[in-house]
Amino acid sequence: MKRPVTMLAAAAIAIAAAALGPRLLTSHEDDRFDPDHAWSEDTLFTVTQVRPGVYFATGRQGQIVGANSVFVVTDRDVILVDDHITPRAARALVGEIRKVTDKPLRYVVDTHFHYDHTSGNSIFGPEVEILSHPRTREHLIRTGQETIRLQAANLPTQIAALRARADTTRNDSAKTALRRQVAGLEGLLEDYRNLVVTMPTATVDSSMVLYRGGGQELRIFYFGRGHTDGDVVVQMPKEGLLLAGDLITNTAGPPNMMDGYAGDWGVTLRHLTQLEFTTTLPGHGAAFDGKERYGQVAELMDDIWHQVMAARSRGATRETVASQVDVTSHAGVFPTLRNPINPGWLQRAFDVAAGTAH
């Protein structure tokens, strides 16, 4: 069943809100602002070497770069996990790789189909194999270009609102920040107008291992539905690392659920904890040690699923289900959780329970 455009638009906007990091200024914030929220010509990423040859690239505060990325410099090549929200960001990331090594980049892994992780695919030539789960490729074929079109269609309204605020504010610092936001979003709009979504060139159904020198292994696994129906992770057993995409994030709120499967998510996370690793490099947020957060996210997803199922059994509708789910017991782990939780997320869970979700 083809996803309705209105649902696709809502999903795209929700992903964008999570991906862009610092908040855009709104008319309700007076002259408060997030400094440097714009594209710039200097370095977009903070790159941290977390293990020998393994580099965790996170967006600098205020930069529109989307998700985290990881690149691994092996004895013969470079392997990149997730390539960001625009070709511009991906090119900046390749620039960071070139500061470290001149070895050829041979593989890109798309952990899932969301555009903040895959829109850099287009900068790579045929010498680079782009790997994903088959369902990730299917999603990109079916909805990838439409998602980008909707992003481009939504940006002029945001740009106009920010420009109007910049023209009327009396605070010089806020005016400067707003104008930089405008410039940043204008750059984003230009990128999206010209972006042709590029598909993975090979798929991994359940597992694949890339063997490199010195006993190094990069194990690509699919354990089941969660954040999407095609999330893959990369385990590096020798280094004690798990590159988890958005199945697990380390932010003040839970991972985005707009394309999620709350009823399966906890099961998938518990499978992940059976792997050997000490440190997680998540799709958003800082790296973290241990496996406690996996259980915390799993418990939240289980709770949401059970509450949605119970609400349906009481006769709740898709439109009313959000008012019948209470997540406050998880606020100690996820400080931004409030009731009602994002209605779109709960409507998604309702649709999955009803068998009407794509």
pLDDT digits (tens, 9 = 90+) for 242-290: 999 999 999 999 999 999 999 999 999 999 999 999 999 999 999 999 9
Q: What pLDDT is stored for residue 187 in this prediction? A: 86
Query: Which residue's entry shows tokens 């405008």?
Result: 182
Unique residue bearing structure tokens 């992780």: 117
- 322 φ, ψ to 5°? -60, -35
> How are beta strands 207-212 and 202-203 bridged, if at all?
unpaired
Listed residue (328, 321, 315) closest to 344, CA to CA: 321
HSE value, Cβ hemisphere, 13 Å, CA-based, for 180: 18
- Confidence (pLDDT) at 60: 72
Model confidence pLDDT, tens digit, residues 195-225:
999 999 999 999 999 999 999 999 999 999 9
- Residue 134 phi/psi, 5-degree rounding, is -55, -35
Q: Model confidence at 61, in pLDDT bands (50, 70, 90)?
A: low
CA dist., res. 108 & res. 65, Å (int): 17
pTM, full prediction:
0.87
Write down the mean pLDDT value for the chain.
Answer: 88
Alpha-carbon distance of 61 to 326, in angstroms, equals 32
329-338 pLDDT per residue, tens? 999 999 999 9
Q: Which helix (H) or strand (E) is 181 found in, with range? A: helix 172-194
Q: Distance (Å, rounded) from C-alpha 162 to C-alpha 145?
A: 26
